[in-house]
């Protein structure tokens, strides 16, 4: 059985060919070039040097993560494409397992670590039990200093390896139990992935190109930043928010307040407190109230029609309640159209109770208003 293994989980790109347990060739590059530029060239050169063709490969082994998000995707794309063309299976190799495998039958703890950015590393803890590599702790993202402190508490020596050691090194104590793996074993080796793939194939733990997926453990920084932009923030309203708020007002009410009314509320009404709900860079809702002695009168609440049904109004009202409590306001009141069942239910859920009716309160339709209090 001929296995082609690749590992692009870190800055090191490595490929290997193993046939029936015998390593035919292994290429390792850690020169700073991008994986997208060198990976296929490395595979092509290695196959040619061994007198092999792509169609000769029986099994592909690919580091599935954790590790560099971009690197993992490049490796996965290459392997999935080849496996699909030649209809061959894939062994998804945990990158940390492959790193630990570099120290075959080491007598002690093995802690591989890969750079997870921002002072953190991807890591797990292993030791060999005869010919079997045992994982003692699951894959995790952990602060490098915290990890070093944990390793120092172990009862036996620990060897660390992987590009995460550059982050951990600054926290190492020369008198501690932690040491670095030899230079030839510090970085990922595709030969280790190939050896693990052979075991996985014997156990039936391989998959198709359609089911193979990288394992990231956590979201990429780009995804984190995107979600931050999508996070709803409720904050005090500012003058520069008036145009967006007025647009929501016009879309929400038959007789909207004027733009000047909002400006005056912010500039001259000392009893007014206005909040806006912001999603990314967009104002999607707002709420206003007046504080009179120990009571707050909610004047208006509205959510942009495109964002209704996402509990934004719920968040605005809760923020208004919190703002009132901070100023020692004991009671809150509001009027709501009798026909607005959704709003009434929301207010009830947040502790408001029905307290009476104002007949013909809304002059645009003559509809009655339900008075509600939260005490």
**CATH number (domain holding residue 327):** 3.40.630.30
Residue 3 in 3-state DSSP? strand
Q: What are the helix (H) ranges across the chain? A: 35-49, 69-86, 95-101, 144-152, 165-168, 190-202, 221-230, 242-252, 259-267, 312-326, 341-349
Specify the pLDDT at position 342: 87
Mean pLDDT of all residues in 211-234: 73
101 is catalytic: no
Residues 155-211 have pLDDT tens digits of: 889 999 999 999 998 888 766 789 999 988 999 999 999 999 999 999 999 999 999
Whether residue 114 contacts residue 82, with contact meaning beta carbons closer than 8 Å, is answered with: no
Q: Report whether pLDDT(337) > 60.
A: yes
Residue 275 in 3-state DSSP? strand
- 142 part of a folded domain: yes
Specify the pLDDT at position 146: 93
Mean pLDDT of all residues in 242-265: 94
Q: What are the structure tokens assigned to 114, written together?
A: 């890969």
Do residues 236 and 352 share a domain? yes
- 360 part of a folded domain: yes
Specify the pLDDT at position 228: 60
Lowest mean pLDDT among 183-197, 208-222, 282-296: 208-222
367 is catalytic: no
Q: Report whether pLDDT(120) > 70.
A: yes
- 60 part of a folded domain: yes
Specify the pLDDT at position 177: 83
Do residues 77 and 120 share a domain? no
Do residues 40 and 78 share a domain? yes
- 160 part of a folded domain: yes
Residue 128 in 3-state DSSP? strand
Do residues 128 and 88 share a domain? no
How does residue 276 score in pLDDT terms, banded at 50, 70 and 90? very high
Tell me the β-bridge partners of 236: 275
Mean pLDDT of all residues in 234-263: 94
Q: Helix 259-267 and helix 242-252: axis angle, to 10°? A: 130
Do residues 294 and 338 share a domain? yes
Do residues 193 and 45 share a domain? yes
- 292 part of a folded domain: yes
Do residues 67 and 165 share a domain? no
Mean pLDDT of all residues in 289-316: 92
Residues 14-62 have pLDDT tens digits of: 999 999 999 999 999 988 768 999 999 999 999 999 999 999 999 999 9
Among 117, 108, 93, residue whose Cα is nearest residue 188? 93
Q: What are the structure tokens assigned to 259, written together?
A: 């733009």
Do residues 168 and 243 share a domain? no
Mean pLDDT of all residues in 139-149: 92
d(CA 329, CA 94) in angstroms, rounded, equals 57
Out of 307, 335, 362, 367, pick the active-site residue.
Answer: 335
Question: 184, 208, 239 — which closes off a domain?
Answer: 184
Q: Report whether pLDDT(225) > 70.
A: no
Range of the domain at 144: 103-184
Q: What are the structure tokens assigned to 352, written together?
A: 């408001």
Do residues 261 and 238 share a domain? yes
- 112 part of a folded domain: yes
Q: Which residues contact 356 (CB under 8 A, 6 or more apart)?
A: 370, 371
Mean pLDDT of all residues in 316-344: 93
Q: Report whether pLDDT(246) > 90.
A: yes
- 223 part of a folded domain: no
Do residues 240 and 336 share a domain? yes
Mean pLDDT of all residues in 2-10: 97
Which DSSP string do the residues of 138-199 spell out, in sequence order? EEEEEEHHHHHHHHHTSSS-EEEESTTHHHHGGG--TTSSEEEPPGGGSS--HHHHHHHHHH
Do residues 244 and 351 share a domain? yes
| Claim: this prediction has a pTM higher than 0.85 | no
d(CA 100, CA 135) in angstroms, rounded, equals 9
Do residues 209 and 281 share a domain? no
**CATH number (domain holding residue 144):** 3.30.420.40
Between the alpha carbon of residue 7 and those of residues 3, 17, 286, the distances in Å are 13, 12, 51
Residue 92 in 3-state DSSP? strand
Q: What percent of the chain is predicted at pLDDT more than 90?
A: 79
When divided into structural domains, the chain yields a total of 3
């Amino acid at each position: 059985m001929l296995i082609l293994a690749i590992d692009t989980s870190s800055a090191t790109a490595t490929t290997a060919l193993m046939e029936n347990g015998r390593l035919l060739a292994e290429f390792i590059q850690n020169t700073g070039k991008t994986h997208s530029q060198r990976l296929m060239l490395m595979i092509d050169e290695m196959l040619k040097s061994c007198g092999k063709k792509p169609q000769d490969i029986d099994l592909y082994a690919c580091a599935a993560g954790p590790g560099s998000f971009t690197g993992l995707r490049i490796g996965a794309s290459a392997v999935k494409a080849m496996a699909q063309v030649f209809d061959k299976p894939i062994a998804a190799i945990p990158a940390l397992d492959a790193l630990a495998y570099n120290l075959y039958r080491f007598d002690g703890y093995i802690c591989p670590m890969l750079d997870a950015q921002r002072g953190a590393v991807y890591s797990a803890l292993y030791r060999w039990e005869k010919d079997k590599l045992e994982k003692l702790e699951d894959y995790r993202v952990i602060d490098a200093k915290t990890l070093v402190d944990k390793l120092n508490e172990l009862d036996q020596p620990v060897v660390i390896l992987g590009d995460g050691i550059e982050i951990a090194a600054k926290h190492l104590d020369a008198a501690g139990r932690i040491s670095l793996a030899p230079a030839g074993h510090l970085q990922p080796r595709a030969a280790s992935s190939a050896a693990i793939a052979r075991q996985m194939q014997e156990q039936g733990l391989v998959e198709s190109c359609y089911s193979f997926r990288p394992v990231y453990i956590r979201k990429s920084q780009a995804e984190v930043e995107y979600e931050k932009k999508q996070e709803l923030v409720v904050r005090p309203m500012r003058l520069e928010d008036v145009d967006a708020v007025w647009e929501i007002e016009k879309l929400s009410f038959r007789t909207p307040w004027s733009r000047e009314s909002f400006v005056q509320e912010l500039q001259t009404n000392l009893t007014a407190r206005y909040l806006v709900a912001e999603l990314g860079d967009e104002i999607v809702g707002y709420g206003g109230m007046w504080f009179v002695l120990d009571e707050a009168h909610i004047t208006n609440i509205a959510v942009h029609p495109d964002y209704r049904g996402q509990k934004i109004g719920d968040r605005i009202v809760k923020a208004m309640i919190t703002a009132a409590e901070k100023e020692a306001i004991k009671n809150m009141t509001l009027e709501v159209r009798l026909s607005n069942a959704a709003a009434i239910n929301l207010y009830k859920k947040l502790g408001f109770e029905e307290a009476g009716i104002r007949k013909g309160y809304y002059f645009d339709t003559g509809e009655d208003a339900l008075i509600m209090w939260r005490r």
